[in-house]
């Protein structure tokens, strides 16, 4: 039994006090720290006020590329990702969360998933051997920074084998359906497969992942708005299988004013272009949006570069971006900024500088 007066015991008591203040708990001797359960899961998100997103992918976001990237080349890239370097950058900004892509259209994912591999049968697997999500989450926790995971709601559009094996169908020749265009029906078989894939990752990460942002939920009436499963509720349960307090958002596409897509979500996806941010903030009614009797945390997601994950430097001056964050957080909302990320895992310095400007402004007593 430890002597409570010993240096080791004092250090451990100090750590436990600090961990409790940060919302962290230990799962057991020698285990990684995890975020504690919460009675009001969205409160930490609203108190954070703003956060950072990156698109770390096997091909540029919203592109049809990636077929030329081999599994081994992807593994080498993920293995070389500088987690410590990115952690230092994010800690310097003062942000409290990172929204990070697990994968998108190329079919390459930055974490293992045995369920996905068994369903698509692609060998060698395009899921990386390294669990980059877990590595990031564990490295960011001591700095009070949480990780949210990004996934598309559909099969990887540029991977024809995965699309076929997962039983995804487009509603018109050529694929790449967008909001207002048809998808290939309710896709019950696909939805069950994708829920299983999401459940695998959620159970793998547990409380290491604090939330999810699910892209491409453009076909809600066809696929998700049904009283029987599969539907929004069953997908949300799969995403929360490892962490019932995880926050979930389903993206309907660019909408101004920002909308609640389903009362099942915990916060709004809030995708808007940079030139629409001011209008979206003006239209924000306050912290909450109402969705069929349920309140959903208001959040906007936009980009600082030329578009998503692109640009050599920010488009707007620091004062304008800081003002957007100030105005939305004053209403109780949250603003997430997408920035480019390099293959080595680092954010280009001009964007780090602007993120630091946001953090400094938020740290001022007047804020």
Q: How would you write the pLDDT of the chain (367 residues) with one tens digit per residue?
A: 433 333 334 444 444 444 444 556 554 433 456 666 666 889 999 999 999 999 999 887 766 667 789 999 999 999 999 999 999 999 999 999 999 999 999 999 999 999 999 999 999 999 999 999 999 999 999 999 999 999 999 999 889 999 999 999 876 665 566 677 767 889 999 999 999 999 999 999 999 999 999 999 999 999 999 999 999 999 999 999 999 999 999 999 999 999 999 999 999 999 999 999 999 999 999 999 987 889 999 999 999 999 999 999 999 999 999 999 999 999 999 999 999 999 999 999 999 999 999 999 999 875 4
Nearest to 357 by CA among 319, 331, 300: 319
Q: Provide the β-strand partners of residue 103.
A: 109
Segment 82-140, tens digit of pLDDT: 999 999 999 999 999 999 999 999 999 999 999 999 999 999 999 999 999 999 999 99
Count CB neighbours of 46 within 10 A.
Answer: 18
Give the per-residue pLDDT at 292.
84
Q: In the block, which residue shows the tokens 């709601």? A: 153
Give the per-residue pLDDT at 35.
62
Q: How far apart are CA 23 and CA 2, in angstroms?
A: 25
Q: Provide the β-strand partners of residue 294.
A: 291
Q: DSSP per residue over 232-296, as a string?
A: HHHHHHHHTSS-TT-EEEE--SS-SS-----TT-SB---B--GGGHHHHHHT--SSEEEETTEEE
**Rg for the chain, CA atoms, rounded:** 20
> What would be the CATH architecture of the domain defined by 40-363?
Alpha-Beta Barrel (3.20)
**Residue 157 · residue 228 · CB < 8 Å:** no
Phi, psi dihedrals of residue 296, rounded to the nearest 5°: -120, 135
SS3 label, residue 153: coil
Give the per-residue pLDDT at 136.
99
Q: What is the dihedral of CA 226, 230, 235, 236, to 10 degrees?
A: 50
Give the per-residue pLDDT at 366.
58
Distances (CA, A) of 338 to 82, 215, 331: 19, 14, 21
CATH 3.20.20.80 domain range(s) in the chain: 40-363
Q: What is the DSSP letter of 38?
A: -
Count CB neighbours of 3 within 10 A.
Answer: 9
Q: How far apart are CA 275 and CA 185, in angstroms?
A: 34
Q: How far apart are CA 346 and CA 354, in angstroms?
A: 15
Residue 175's contacts (CB-CB under 8 Å, 6 or more residues apart) are: 157
Nearest to 187 by CA among 155, 145, 147, 144: 155
């Amino acid at each position: 039994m430890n002597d409570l007066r010993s240096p080791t015991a004092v250090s451990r008591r100090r750590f436990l006090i600090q961990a409790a203040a940060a919302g962290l708990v230990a799962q057991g001797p020698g285990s990684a720290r995890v975020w504690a359960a919460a009675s009001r899961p969205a409160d930490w998100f609203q108190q954070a006020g703003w956060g950072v997103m990156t698109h770390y992918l096997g091909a540029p976001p919203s592109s049809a590329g990636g077929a030329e990237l081999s599994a081994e080349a992807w593994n080498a890239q993920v293995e070389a990702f500088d987690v410590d370097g990115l952690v230092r950058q994010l800690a310097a900004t003062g942000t409290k969360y990172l929204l990070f892509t697990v994968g998108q259209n190329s079919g390459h994912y930055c974490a293992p998933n045995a369920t996905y591999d068994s369903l698509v049968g692609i060998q060698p697997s395009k899921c990386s051997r390294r669990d980059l999500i877990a590595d990031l989450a564990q490295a960011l926790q001591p700095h009070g920074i949480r990780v949210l995971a990004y996934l598309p709601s559909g099969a990887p559009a540029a991977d024809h084998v995965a699309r076929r094996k997962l039983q995804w169908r487009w509603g018109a020749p050529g694929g790449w359906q967008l909001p207002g265009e048809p998808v290939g029906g309710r896709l019950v078989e696909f939805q069950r497969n994708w829920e299983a894939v999401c459940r695998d990752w959620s159970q793998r990460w547990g409380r290491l992942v604090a939330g999810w942002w699910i892209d491409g939920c453009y076909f809600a009436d066809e696929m998700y708005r049904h009283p029987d499963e599969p539907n929004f509720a069953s997908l949300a349960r799969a995403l929360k299988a490892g962490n019932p307090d995880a926050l979930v958002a389903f993206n309907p596409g660019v909408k101004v004013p920002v909308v609640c897509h389903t009362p099942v979500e915990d916060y709004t996806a809030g995708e808007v272009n940079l030139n629409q941010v001011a209008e979206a903030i003006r239209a924000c009614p306050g912290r909450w949006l109402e969705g069929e009797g349920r309140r959903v945390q208001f959040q906007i997601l936009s980009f600082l570069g030329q578009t998503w994950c692109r640009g050599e430097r920010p488009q707007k001056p620091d004062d304008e971006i800081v003002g957007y964050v100030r105005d939305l957080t004053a209403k109780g909302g949250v603003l997430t900024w997408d920035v480019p990320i390099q293959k080595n895992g680092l954010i280009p310095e001009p964007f780090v500088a602007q993120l630091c400007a946001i953090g400094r402004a938020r740290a001022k007593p007047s804020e």
